[in-house]
A = this chain, B = another copy of it.
Amino acid sequence: MNRFKITELGKDVFWLRDAEREHLVRVLRLSPGDLVVGYDNTGKEYTSVIVKIEDKSVTCRILSTDQPDVEAHTSVFMVAGLSKGEKMDWVIQKGTELGMAGLIPLRAKRSIVHIEGKKARDRVVRWQKISSEASKQSHRVQEPEISEVCDWKDLKALLPEDTQWLIPYEEEKSQRLSTVLGMMNGKHPIAVIIGPEGGFEETEVAWARENLGAQSVSLGPRILRTETAALAALTMVLGYFGDLG
């Protein structure tokens, strides 16, 4: 059954407008009587029947409401040093499927990509769309939010105060991710900070340790590309807390 993000939720009905309406009408060519699933990012999903298709909206009558146990119980956020377009797209698409809670794009010192102002905002809109599509594909009921592109100093305010920060770092040789996970609490959010293509500078890791209480960790002896490191770390954290596999 096709899945849609609800634009407006009523008592026994919801409406789809704009891009969701377009997708239903023009791409999927659905008609009144067809069944669809709607979700409203609260964790619920609504099995529904299309009752009316109009110029500006599609009306769906809700047949049943579920709260599927599909979301990770431990909130794992990704903070990703800006890397070239395709890598970021991949991390967002795959990270959404795997179960990340949200992603914050970070201007890191070695980020080759420099985006500011409108260009940065447009990029975030595109990333949010990728995340939204991956949410539907993986049957999630809460889409990860892609934050505005930010700087190191903005990070702390973007996540809850009890967030536990991890920073995989090539030069960290003694502290392994698996060891550190054993000392963490899956009831508090976890944020994983991943460097851009060239990795982090030492001063950035030191800043994260001092200002975020971040723990630097090793992902093992093989050198991983930034997108591989991001997805491997996310998989390991979610897996450790029983939220994957």
- Residue numbers of A with Cβ under 8 A of B are 68-70, 94, 97-99, 137-140, 176-178, 217-225, 227-228, 231-233, 235-236, 239, 242-245
Q: Which residues of B contact A217 (CB under 8 A)?
A: 245
| Contact (Cβ within 8 A) A97 B223 | yes
- The 8 Å CB contact of A139, one of B98, B223, B235, B239, is B223
Assuming A176-B245, A235-B235, what are 5 further A-B pairs, CB within 8 angstroms?
Answer: A97-B228, A138-B222, A228-B231, A231-B231, A232-B235
Contact present for B245 and A98 (CB under 8 Å): no
**Chain B residues, CB < 8 A from A178:** 239, 242, 245
Q: Which residue of B lies closest to A229 (CB)?
A: B97
Within the complex, the shortest CB–CB distance from A135 to chain B, in Å, comes to: 9
Which B residues are CB-close (under 8 A) to A137?
223, 225
State the CA gap A169–B102 with chains docked (Å): 27
- Chain B contacts for A218, CB-based, 8 A: 245
Stoichiometry (number of copies):
2
**Residues of B with C-beta under 8 A to A176:** 245
Cα distance A220–B98 in the bound complex, in angstroms: 9
Q: How far is A178 from B239 in the complex, measured between Cα atoms in Å?
A: 8
CA distance A103 to B191 in the complex (A): 32
Residues of B within 8 A of A68 (CB): 221
Q: Given contacts A178-B239, A239-B178, A239-B239, is CB(A244)–CB(B220) below 8 Å?
A: yes
Verify B219–A245 contact, CB threshold 8 A: yes
With the chains together, A219 CA to B245 CA distance in Å? Answer: 4
Cα A176 to Cα B238 in complex, Å, equals 14
